[in-house]
Structure 1
Amino acid sequence: MKMFYPLEDQIKKFKKIVFVTGAGISQESGIPTFRGKDGFWKNNDPMKLATIDAFYDNPKLVWEWYNERRKNIFQAQPNLGHKAIAELEKYVEVVVLTQNIDGLHQKSGSTKVLELHGSIVRIKCSVCDYQEEILTKISGLPPFCKCGNILRPDVVWFGEPLPQDVWQNAIKFASQCDLMIIVGTSLVVSPANTLPIYAKQNNATLIEINTENTEMSEEMDIIIRKSSAEALPKLVSLFKNQL
């Protein structure tokens, strides 16, 4: 329990915990990150696969790439990090603000998850309000909506705004938490990287769990240079023992 030692005398004061999670937590479930040494963007040009212009230029190519990602994600299972976050709900109020689009937090049992960048499970029409969850391979690429327009993955691409209802709720939860735990994110993508600032304004304690330094490491109260699968179960054990 040494890695969380500074928290032991404070556990009882934490009533509202917010997790901000990124690709690092899902990497331990076999889903590649975007910016790491083996990340997606090392071998693929995001401007050709993850922008609205790229989609309209070559929707079939974009959909082929997303079909491969969907296949990988649907085979992935929550790891000990995901499961620990879900288990923590037994002891304290927990909200997960995730940049991930893989649905692994929900699959692990977390009940309050805000998907800042959308979900690869869902598809939506590029024009009308049609939206649906599809857990199988998308055939007939590119797929078309009943209204005649192209369907697209319900994810946030480069240059697109976050869903405003989700983002406003994320700000609210970040601004009201007692403890924010930032897991597996490099904190370089805006506006999600501003969430720790909102928490700090509420005098929340900030914990960073990441194997590498991030853009905001110097702002953290506690830094854990361990994987989420190693660190988070120990954090849950601390709550079990103290509450």
Structure 2
Amino acid sequence: MKKKLVVLTGAGISAESGIATFRDADGLWEGHDVMEVASPQGWRKNPELVLDFYNQRRKNAHTVQPNTGHKILANLETDFDVRIITQNVDDLHERAGSTNVIHLHGKLFESRSTLDPTLVYPIEGWELNVGDKCERGSQLRPNIVWFGEAVPMMEKAMEEAVQADIFLVVGTSLVVYPAASLVDFVDDEAPIFVVDPKLPEMRKRTNTYLFEEKATTGMEKVASVLRSNYV
């Protein structure tokens, strides 16, 4: 029976494909205050700005490809029951071939009704504009979890973390909650592997293994260790 490998990924894994990390050192995201483009208040204040911001993110996402890190995670499904929990809104995990992906912060290529959050639609191409409406006549918004909003997939992610035989953290600073709390749900007997060029602050356990590297090179080493010791 394959061991369950649960993976938490963040912006670092997609950065190597050319997708901007969420926040730069100055607190701006692609030149914008994050609260202008990633909060309910920002949406109410200037929906045109928010829609354009995500249109540009989508346009950029169409030009990039999954990198070695994404592909290694997909290939690990041959030897492990891999469940990916990602903080990223892009679709690079799926495009690399991963079949079990939980998007904590929503999906860039989906829209949803502002009236009924259960009405979700795929976005063909890259544009979502003012005047695009759901079947009930309300404006569509990006299907993204903004600051101050509930994280509907968090409960499912916690269930996966609790059941993990092995837990892997790739390309995330572990500062954005509630996602960062997932490591606390991992059984004390389960090894935790961490891959990031700037290793996050976290509770050290005897079975924590740190790889101070970017996702692509670090994942090559981790995959080798996993296959040697846990298959």
Q: Does 1:192 align with 2:179?
A: yes
| Alpha carbons of structure 1 residues 238 and 131: separation in structure 2 relative to 1, 3 Å | same
For the residues of structure 2 that align with 1:44 and 1:218, how far apart are their CA atoms? 35
Q: When the two structures are aligned, how many residues end up with a matched partner? A: 228
> 1:45 and 2:33 equivalent?
yes
Q: Given the alignment, which residue of 18, 21, 43 partners 1:30? A: 18
Alpha-carbon separation, structure 2, partners of 1:157 and 1:168: 17
Aligned to 1:180: 167
The 3-state SS of whatever aligns with 1:95 is strand
Among residues 86, 89, 99, which one is paired with 1:98 in the alignment?
Answer: 86
Distance (whole Å) between structure 2 residues aligned to residue 111 and residue 139 of structure 1: 27
Q: Would the aligned equivalents of 1:176 and 1:202 in 2 still touch at CA under 8 Å?
A: no
For 2:93, the aligned partner's letter is: H
Q: Does the 8 Å contact 2:11/2:22 carry over to 1? A: yes
| Equivalent residue, structure 2, for 1:10 | none
Is the counterpart of residue 133 in structure 1 residue 85 in structure 2?
no
Comparing 129-138 and 53-62, the one that deviates more: 129-138
Percent identity between matched residues is 38
Secondary structure of residue in 2 paired with 1:19: strand
Determine if contact 2:27/2:34 at 8 Å carries over to the other structure: no
Per the TM alignment, residue 40 of structure 1 is displaced from its structure 2 partner at its CA by 4.7
What residue is the counterpart of 2:211 in the other structure?
224
Check if 1:112 corresponds to 2:120.
no
Hey, what's the Cα distance between the residues in 2 that align with 1:122 and 1:141? 15
Instruction: Give the 3-state SS of the residue equivalent to 1:182 in structure 2.
Output: strand
C-alpha RMSD of matched pairs (Å):
2.1
Other-structure match for 1:76:
64
Q: Is 1:205–2:191 an aligned residue pair?
A: yes
**Counterpart contact for 1:217–1:223, Cα < 8 Å:** no
SS at match of 1:75: coil
| Residues 68-95 of structure 1 deviation map (CA, whole Å, 9 limit, x = unaligned) | 0111112211000000000000011110
Runs (5+) with no aligned partner, structure 2: none
Counterpart position of 2:145: 156
Q: How much does 1:203 deviate?
A: 2.3
Contact 1:208 1:217 in 2 (8 A): no
Structure 1 residues 80 and 40, CA gap change in structure 2 (3 angstroms):
farther
> How many angstroms apart in 2 are the aligned matches of 1:23 and 1:88?
20
Look up the SS of the partner of 1:148 in the other structure.
Answer: coil
SS at match of 2:141: strand
Quote the residue 1:235 is aligned against: 222
**Which structure carries more helix by proportion?**
1
Give, in whole Å, the separation in 2 of the partners of 1:64 and 1:193.
29
TM-score with structure 1 length normalisation?
A: 0.86
CA distance change for structure 1 residues 44 and 217 in 2, over 3 Å: closer, same or farther? farther
Deviations 1:44-72 (A, max 9, x none): 11111111121122111110111001111
Whole-angstrom distance in 2 between the partners of 1:68 and 1:150: 19
CA deviation map 1:150-172 (0-9, x unaligned): 10000100000101xx2222111
Which residue number corresponds to residue 89 of structure 1? 77
